[in-house]
Every structure is written in structure tokens, then in C-alpha cells.
Amino acid sequence: MQTAVPLLREIERLPQPYLLFLGDIVEPAYAKTAFGLRDWARERCIGEFACHGGTVSAGLAPMTPAQARAAGARSLVIGVANPGGRIPDSWLPSLLQALEAGLDLVGGMHARLGGIAALSGAATRFGRRLIDLREPPRDIPVASGAKRSGKRLLTMGTDCALGKKYTALALARAFAARGIDADFRATGQTGILIAGGGIPMDAVVSDFAAGAAEMLSPDAAADHWDVIEGQGSLFHPAYAGVSLALLHGSQPDVVVVCHQPGRERVLGHPGFALPGIEETIALALQLGSRTNPAIRCAGVSLNTSHLDEADALRLLANESERLGCAVADPMRGGAAFEQLVEDCLV
């Protein structure tokens, strides 16, 4: 039996807690769903499970599906976001093992669980569910470009998988801590699992993608903030379309540009150099001004997870001076992040 979970406030129906599935990946950047759930919904994660040959870990207790089910897990969540959103044949024995152990399967891949005959047959046989998150809502309108009430912030990146979701979550949490009415608006499968709803933007037919962004952040009170999770990059050779649709449709008042220092080539596309932070800011403001002429960049979010504390703080300070704006790592917090929050709210 296949179940679609398309829009807001429906994720509460998912069977929890989760066993996180890491497949056989060897590139940590492709485990962003597992890492996101570990970091932002740890209480819902009971352990992790990988195929033979996989080298990536989320740092949770390794468990077989049977062990996880005995410990209380109710579903296996595919924690991988690989190029093209594929479910390779090498994963099928592990996924079938989870169904046989009594776990439902939850996937956010482009490949639908219910479209794989071996899985759908096993789900029927064992009385389990196949739950696909990457299903957009029906009847998405074409974007109008009309101005909406409320305030909006969009995170944008120089590349994929470098901190747009984490930055948006951290900013939404910081806004709420200051008593500001704010919502995190999820646009990808990991964010949807964390937030309890959203729209998987990269599964929307391209003509309706900007309309989906409008739908995701509707009219709101004048002092309400929607903090919108960015996707892809305006410079990305494959995913720039979804980035532009989000930019036009969300009509952000504020953008925060995200970057990982030291990354020089586009993830998964090594033939393309990563754009600079300044280039990304300039293009975001140029294109974003089409639907919001008042758009501004409040600052930059750097993913410094690969640096020690002293080097990270030195880099943040140097980049802030060089760029002339707030530069912070939201996961480190501190004075730099507080300044970024202040500059977003100006």
C-alpha cells in the first residue's frame, strides 16, 4: 500500500521512531537527510542501518531492522539524497529486510517506493506501508508575481548540500527565541521530515514551481516571518531552475547566502568551478528584484564544520571585514550569529 504525504502538517502521521538507512554511499554530502534528522529531530531517530560497502555514518547506534523493531522503531527512513534520487538495486535486499522485520518504508527520493515491484509486493505481503514524501500537492497555481503580506527570508547557496537548510532552521529558531512570529518553510524531503510539512520543490512541474513557492509562503501578518529553505544554486548546471523558481515565487525581503569555505568545484559536477560569494549575492539580488524590488542580502552563512574553533572564528571575522556584512556559522552560534540575526531583522 502506497501513501503520499504532500503538504503541511501531515508528517505527524508518519510511523516513528525511525531507523535511518544510509545505503552503500561513500560520500558524506549525500547523507544529508540522515544528518538533518540526527541534528534537528534526534528524538525521532533510534539508530542507523547501512548496506555492505557503505562508509558513511550518522553517528547513531548501528542496528539491523529486526534489532531496531525490537527497540521500538516503526519505520526505516531512507537517509540518502543521491544524484538523481535513485534507489539502486543494491539497496533492495536491505529494504526488503526492513519490510520483513515489520518496518514501514519512508522515502523522499525521486524514485518512488511504490513504483518498485519488489517493494510493493513485499509491502502487501507483510502488511507494511510505502510512504513517498516527494509528492507535491495537487492544483498548484501558476505564479502571479503579486505582492503578499508578511516578511520572507530565503537561504541561497553557492552550491548544493552546504548549509541552506541548517541556516534556515537556525534563523527560524533564533527569531522565535526573540518572540518573533516565524515559520520554517521546508522545500525538500529532509526539511519536510523535520518540520512536519512543506512542498518538495524539485518534484513540481517547472511551469508551476514559482507558484508552489507562493503557495508555500502565503499572505501573513505584517510582522510574521517565513524562513524558507533554499535549494540548489543559481549557478548550478543541473539545479539552477529550482533555485530561480524559489527566488521569484517566495519574493524574499531578505536573502542569506550560504557557502562552504574550501569547496572549489560543484558537488557531483567537478567540471564546474564554484561561484564566489560576491557573485552569488549579486545574481540573487539582480534576479530577485524582479518580484521584490526591495530585496536585500543580510549576510553570509559559512559552513565551518571542517575547521577547529579558532580557525573558524578567525575566518568568520576576516570574511565579515572583506565582504562588509555579517558572516556567521549558525551551528557555532556566538556573537557573529547574533549579528546576522539582527541584520536579518533590520
Torsion from C-alpha of 78, 80, 86, 90, nearest 10 degrees: -70
H/E element, 19:
strand 18-21
pLDDT digit string, tens, across residues 161-175: 899 999 999 999 999
Q: Which amino acid is at 196?
A: G
H/E element, 21:
strand 18-21
| pTM confidence score | 0.88
pLDDT digit string, tens, across residues 226-254: 999 999 999 999 999 999 999 999 999 99
Residue corresponding to grid cell 509562503? 217
- Does the pLDDT at position 70 exceed 50? yes
Residue 84: per-residue pLDDT:
79
Residue 8: per-residue pLDDT:
40
Beta-sheet strand order (sheet of 151-157): 182-185, 225-228, 151-157, 254-259, 296-302, 326-328
Q: How far apart are the first and last CA of the chain?
A: 49
b/e map 31-68, b = 16+ CB within 10 Å: bbbbbbbbebbeebbbbbbbbeebebebebeebebebb
- Does the pLDDT at position 11 exceed 90? no
Q: Indicate the pairing of strand 296-302 with strand 75-78.
A: unpaired
CA atoms within a 13 Å half-sphere pointing along the CA-CB vector of 153: 31
- Does the pLDDT at position 10 exceed 60? no
What percentage of residues in the chain have a pLDDT greater than 90?
A: 89
Domains of the chain by range and CATH?
Answer: 2-132 (3.40.50.720), 151-345 (3.40.50.300)
What percentage of residues in the chain have a pLDDT greater than 70?
A: 97
Residue 54: per-residue pLDDT:
95
- Does the pLDDT at position 102 exceed 60? yes
- Does the pLDDT at position 7 exceed 50? no
Residue 1: per-residue pLDDT:
41
- Does the pLDDT at position 325 exceed 70? yes
pLDDT digit string, tens, across residues 194-232: 988 899 999 999 999 999 999 999 999 999 999 999 999
Residue 14: per-residue pLDDT:
83
* CA 299 – CA 287 distance, rounded (Å): 17
Confidence grade of residue 67 (pLDDT, cut at 50, 70, 90): very high
* CA 337 – CA 331 distance, rounded (Å): 9
Question: Across all residues in the chain, what is the average pLDDT?
Answer: 94
* DSSP state letters, 128-157: --EEE---PPSSPPPP-----SSEEEEEEE
